[in-house]
Amino acid sequence: MDKIEEKILELALQQTSSVEVLYEEGEARSVSFENNILKHVNTKSIRGLGLRVIKDGRIGFSSTTDFREPEKLVANAVESAKFGQIAAFDFPSKNTYHTIAVFDQRVIDYPIHSCVEIGKEAIEKSLSVNPDYECSVGLGKGYGMRRLINSKGIDITSSSTAFSIGIEILQVKGQSLVWIGEGESSKALVTDLNKHVDKALKGLMLAEKELRLKTGSYPVIVTAKAMGNLLATFESGCNGKLVQKGISPLIHKIGEKIIDERISIYDDATIDMADASYPWDGEGVPSQRTPLFEKGILKNYLFDLQTAGKMKTQSTGNGNRGFSSQPSPGNSNVIIEPGNMSLEAMIKDIPYGVLVDQVLGGGQSNVLAGEFSVNIDLGYLIENGEIVGRVKDCMFAGNVFDIFNNIVAIGDTAEWHGSMKVPPFYFASINISGKADS
């Protein structure tokens, strides 16, 4: 008996010659602790289909989780094509794909009760240091399978896994509170929560003494964990859709030096077991490693098929989507090549400055202009090359195009945080607004 995907392809081909069907199924299980106690163990499953057609030169799309009426799915897709975008692409034909490790059987086999035990141990360890800490712990594991078939003969299937661990420790002291979050995620099994607990506990110890900082311009080290905010402008700027719409700050700048020549940034979906790796994107285009900036020079934008077609170029294999959405260009793993200075050496180098380890939300950032103004959630004051305490009630602000052309050094070790692998950065000077002691 034909699978539902094949039946839908067959039905749609009676209406138009250009058809693509994406089938997805998956299950996620998670364990979460709040305020030191087990809150819930959840299981969530999903199964769905997305159908994309090109009819009379326009794109139609529909999706469903109800497989009982395939004719309705086809009718909806064909009907929506009347109002759809004009297609600037054809569906791809058979291709060769990289062999990328995105599946770990150990994730599927790992018992959920072991996740509960890891969480309990992490909380016990934290409370043994200070019984007043309030801990939240999350562990999650997931499995997914996707199959893509189209009218050009593509028929590909990929299975992947995911595992994540994390702890947040909150300390309330009178009117003041400090929290630190640490963790990691991967497509492989990662169960060493202890090292993240140790890191969080060390951070809390360094934050014991609270200090105020006068408003001014200071040397600033931003850890790998806090770099995401500052990189958002470059990610958005390289997004082909924003380029196509004419709103990217990097439009018409390919080949120009934009940032310090020590900085190289890549989008790379081909890294084994990394969070955002895949053998092929949501349209069946092979994944690749795309240089965004090399030695400070803008090299490429990221495209899906439609955006690439409109821009008269090729897809970079960045058509991101789930079954219920149409593709759109988006980052996979963002990689910055490390530099040559250790974090310890950076700290030692600063007579008076700040180490930023966590920021709060997006702040008042105008991402496209490169402007940022962000609350420092966890920052440390450095005096004479040593961390002396935590800075309170501070924001740092500036323009990323300025500060990334004003760096002292790049860290020699890159760390994974989600789908980003970046080193710490040591900036010569960033404006910090604080509240001075009266």
HEC sequence for the chain: CCCHHHHHHHHHHCCCCEEEEEEEEEEEEEEEEECCEEEEEEEEEEEEEEEEEEECCEEEEEEECCCCCHHHHHHHHHHHHCCCCECCCCCCCCCCCCCCCCCCHHHHHCCHHHHHHHHHHHHHHHHHHCCCCEEEEEEEEEEEEEEEEECCCCEEEEEEEEEEEEEEEEEEECCEEEEEEEEEEECCCCCCCHHHHHHHHHHHHHCCCEECCCCEEEEEEECHHHCHHHHHHHHHHCEHHHHHHCCCCCCCCCCCECCCCCCCEEEECCCCCCCCCCCECCCCCECCEEEEEECCEECCCECCHHHHHHCCCCCCCCEECCCCCCCEECCCCEEECCCCECHHHHHHHCCEEEEEEEEECCCCCEHHHCEEEEEEEEEEEEECCEEEEEECCEEEEEEHHHHCCCEEEEECCCEEECCEEECCEEEEEEEEECCCCC
94 — pLDDT class (breaks 50, 70, 90) = confident
Give the pLDDT mean for 356-378: 84
pLDDT band at 362 (very low <50, low <70, confident <90, very high): low
Please check whether residues 71 and 123 belong to one and the same domain. Answer: yes
Average pLDDT, stretch 142-155?
Answer: 97
Final residue in a domain of this structure, among 150, 180, 202: 202
Question: Is 13 found in the same domain as 141?
Answer: yes
186/214 same-domain check: no
Check whether 137 has a pLDDT greater than 50. yes
- 215 and 86 in one domain? no
Which CATH number do you get for residue 73? 3.30.2290.10
Query: Does position 323 have pLDDT exceeding 50, yes or no?
Result: yes
**130 and 160 inside one domain:** yes
Which of 155, 177, 202 is a domain's end point?
202
Question: Could you list the residue range(s) of the whole structural domain that residue 21 is in?
Answer: 4-202
Q: Which pLDDT tens digit goes with each residue over 370-425? A: 899 999 999 999 999 999 999 988 999 999 999 999 999 999 999 999 999 999 99
In the listed set 134, 169, 202, which residue is the last one of a domain according to the structure? 202
Q: Does residue 188 share a domain with residue 294?
A: no
Per-residue model confidence (pLDDT) at position 125: 98
Same domain for 158 and 235, yes or no, is: no
Please give the pLDDT value at position 437. 43
**Mean pLDDT, range 419-432, rounded to an integer:** 97
Same domain, residue pair 178 and 229: no
Res 2: pLDDT: 64
pLDDT of the residue at 1? 39
Q: What's the pLDDT tens digit per position in 182-207?
A: 999 999 999 999 999 999 999 999 99
Task: Quote the number of domains for the chain.
Answer: 2
Model pLDDT for residues 215-266, shown as the tens digit of each residue? 999 999 999 999 998 999 999 999 999 999 999 999 999 999 999 999 999 9
* The pLDDT of residue 369: 86
Q: Are residues 197 and 214 part of one domain?
A: no
**In terms of domains, do 154 and 176 share one?**
yes
Q: Are residues 381 and 271 part of one domain?
A: yes
Do residues 214 and 169 both lie within one domain?
Answer: no
